[in-house]
């Protein structure tokens, strides 16, 4: 009985060793998509009032965790019984990411035109508050939906590294990667969006302008606007690259498309093309809807 008990411990220890090794491999495989996930979500978590940054980020983080809870069991079921469903989900998600990325590019060159302000100041304040609350909710929903698609990609890539292993092993490894993706990404995003507050605290530690804390604190404060602007650009590029990568790796005739170019450039171009086509289709559908239901 004792020998059987210790043998069970040996089996568990061996399993955990394998889990650790495969978790490291899976995390390395998903490192690229995690970087894109960070850039995209950091860009989406910025642009709010300072007092709303952490509440908004917490709302997105909870949504991301819920996404993982939904995706993981579905991914395991699809992988076991309907592998084609995984590919279909990835491609549909890629179309959305490409559309969102191209839309950002389009509105950069052709920004929205606002109507002339013709309401009294009191009404403007009320509308501004209502619009801010609505914009916040919409941005949170958009961030969570984008996170859902990126999470599907992360889970599928991680799952691909443990195909053929026992189901329990797959569940443990992929779940670990999903937790790292959520805690790691949004933890770093939280540090980015609060970088200026941390810098201000460092500045207040010492009035001596030549002190390390004062210089470093000012550096953080002055750098944040550049980081935010950079994240907006990086996040858009990341959306298009992730989308393009999905198409290139999951659609046969695109495997050798622009093969002479570096992979990341090819992915970006494919994402941009698909985003353009999706954008045209959406605009066409809205035009038809207006003409038919006007």
Give residue 11's pLDDT: 41
Residue 63 has pLDDT above 60, yes or no: yes
Q: What is the pLDDT of residues 25-40, one digit of tens each?
A: 555 545 555 665 666 6
Mean predicted lDDT score pLDDT of the chain: 75
Give residue 215's pLDDT: 83
* Paired tokens of 181: 């993706």
How confident is the model over 12-24, as a mean pLDDT?
50
* Paired tokens of 208: 């001596």
Give residue 41's pLDDT: 66
Confidence tier at 227 by pLDDT (50, 70, 90): confident
Give residue 38's pLDDT: 67
The percentage of the chain sitting over the pLDDT mark of 70, rounded to a whole number, equals 74
- Pick from 252, 270, 272, 250: nearest CA to 261: 270
Angle between helices 83-109 and 50-81 (to 10 degrees): 150
Distance CA 37, CA 78 (A): 23
Distance CA 245, CA 267 (A): 5
Give residues with Cβ within 8 angstroms of 121, minimum separation 6: none
The Cα-based distances of 140 to 45, 62, 89, 292 in angstroms read: 8, 11, 22, 32
* Paired tokens of 214: 């004062």
Q: How many CA atoms lie within 13 A of 65 on its CB side?
A: 10
Q: What is the pLDDT of residues 155-184, one digit of tens each?
A: 877 776 676 677 777 788 888 888 888 887
The distance of Cα 188 from the centroid of its chain, to the nearest Å, equals 12
Give residue 5's pLDDT: 38
The Cα-based distances of 176 to 9, 21, 170 in angstroms read: 21, 12, 10
Residue 44 has pLDDT above 70, yes or no: no
Q: Report the C-alpha dihedral over residues 88, 89, 94, 97, rounded to 10 degrees.
A: 150
Q: What is the pLDDT of residues 232-256, one digit of tens each?
A: 777 788 778 878 888 888 787 787 7
* Paired tokens of 70: 């939904």
Residue 194 has pLDDT above 50, yes or no: yes
Q: What is the pLDDT of residues 75-128, one digit of tens each?
A: 888 877 887 777 787 788 788 888 988 988 898 888 765 444 443 343 444 445
Give residue 257's pLDDT: 78
Is the whole model's pTM more than 0.85, yes or no? no
Burial 43-64 (b: 16+ CB within 10 A, else e): bbbbebeeeebbebbebbbebb
Residue 7 has pLDDT above 60, yes or no: no
Distance CA 229, CA 236 (A): 11
Is residue 169 within 8 A of residue 162, CB to CB? The reply is: yes
Residue with tokens 């969570």: 144
What is the total residue count of the chain? 294
Give the N- to C-terminal CA distance of the chain in Å, as an integer.
80
């Amino acid at each position: 009985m004792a020998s059987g008990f210790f043998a069970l411990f040996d089996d568990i220890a061996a399993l955990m060793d394998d889990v650790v090794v495969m978790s490291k491999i899976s995390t390395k495989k998903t490192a690229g998509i995690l970087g894109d996930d960070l850039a995209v979500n950091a860009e989406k978590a910025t642009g709010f009032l300072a007092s709303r940054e952490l509440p908004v980020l917490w709302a997105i983080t909870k949504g991301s965790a819920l996404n993982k809870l939904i995706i993981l069991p579905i991914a395991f079921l699809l992988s076991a019984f309907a592998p084609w469903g995984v590919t279909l989900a990835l491609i549909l998600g890629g179309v959305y990411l490409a559309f969102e990325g191209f839309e950002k590019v389009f509105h950069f060159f052709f920004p929205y035109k606002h109507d002339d302000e013709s309401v009294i100041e009191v009404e403007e304040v009320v509308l501004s508050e209502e619009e801010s609350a609505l914009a916040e909710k919409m941005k949170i929903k958009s961030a969570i939906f984008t996170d859902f698609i990126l999470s599907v990609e992360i889970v599928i890539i991680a799952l691909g590294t443990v195909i053929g292993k026992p189901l329990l092993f797959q569940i443990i490894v992929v779940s670990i990667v999903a937790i790292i993706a959520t805690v790691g990404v949004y933890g770093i995003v939280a540090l980015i969006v609060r970088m200026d507050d941390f810098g201000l605290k460092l500045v207040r530690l010492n009035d001596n302008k030549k002190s390390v804390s004062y210089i470093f604190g000012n550096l953080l404060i002055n750098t944040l606007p550049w980081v935010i602007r950079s994240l907006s650009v990086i996040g858009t590029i990341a959306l298009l690259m992730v989308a393009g990568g999905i198409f290139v790796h999951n659609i046969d005739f695109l495997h050798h498309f622009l093969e002479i170019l570096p992979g990341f450039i090819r992915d970006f171009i494919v994402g941009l093309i698909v985003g353009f086509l999706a954008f045209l289709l959406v605009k066409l559908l809205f035009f038809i809807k207006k003409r038919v239901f006007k």
